[in-house]
Structures are given as C-alpha cells and as structure tokens.
C-alpha cells in the first residue's frame, strides 16, 4: 500500500527516545533518551534507510537544530470503485 510521510518541525532539544526524524536526507530512529552535554544533545540512533548490521551511531546535535519529526500514514485510495 502506498505511503506518504507527514513531518512536523521540532528542535533538537525536543527529541525523545523512539522519535523518527529526518537527518542528512535519511530517517533515523532515536534509541536512547537524549542527554545534554557541553557539546550538545547526545543520543544513540539507528539509520533506518541503511541496510547494515552495525548502523547504530552516537550523534551529537545542536539543541537549536531544526529537525523533521516523521510519522507515516497510508495514502487513502482515491480510485473510483
């Protein structure tokens, strides 16, 4: 079934565990609760669009960085019956 991606803009400091966001043109899943450090917001993430067994990375982002929070929703079937 076709899907569309609806996005809401959030700031880096609004990330929570289990969020899926667009980052560097890829979808990432936040798998640990983000923590503030002197360098920025630090968390572990899985790159959803990369098919690799070792695609977990620790990211450090600016808390003011604007990200697209992704949710997927099915496209309604508009064909005539």
CATH code of the domain containing 52: 2.30.30.30
Q: Give the pLDDT band of residue 74 (cuts 50, 70, 90).
A: very low
The pTM for the full model equals 0.75
- Whether the predicted pLDDT of 38 surpasses 90: yes
* Domain of residue 59, residue span: 3-74
* Distant-in-sequence contacts of 69-72, Cβ < 8 A, 24+ apart: 69/7, 69/8, 69/9, 69/10, 69/19, 69/20, 69/21, 70/5, 70/6, 70/7, 70/20, 70/21, 70/22, 70/27, 71/5, 71/6, 71/7, 71/8, 71/20, 72/3, 72/4, 72/5, 72/6
Average pLDDT over residues 14-21: 92
Tell me, yes or no, whether 18 lies in a domain. Answer: yes
* Count of domains for the chain: 1
């Amino acid at each position: 079934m076709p899907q569309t991606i609806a996005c809401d803009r959030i700031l880096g400091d609004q990330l929570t565990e289990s969020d899926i966001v667009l980052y560097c043109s890829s979808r990432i899943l936040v798998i640990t609760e983000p923590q503030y450090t002197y360098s920025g917001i630090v968390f572990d993430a899985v790159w959803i669009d990369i098919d690799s067994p070792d695609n977990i990375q620790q990211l450090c982002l600016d808390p003011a960085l604007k990200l697209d929070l992704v949710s997927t929703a099915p496209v309604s079937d508009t064909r005539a019956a």
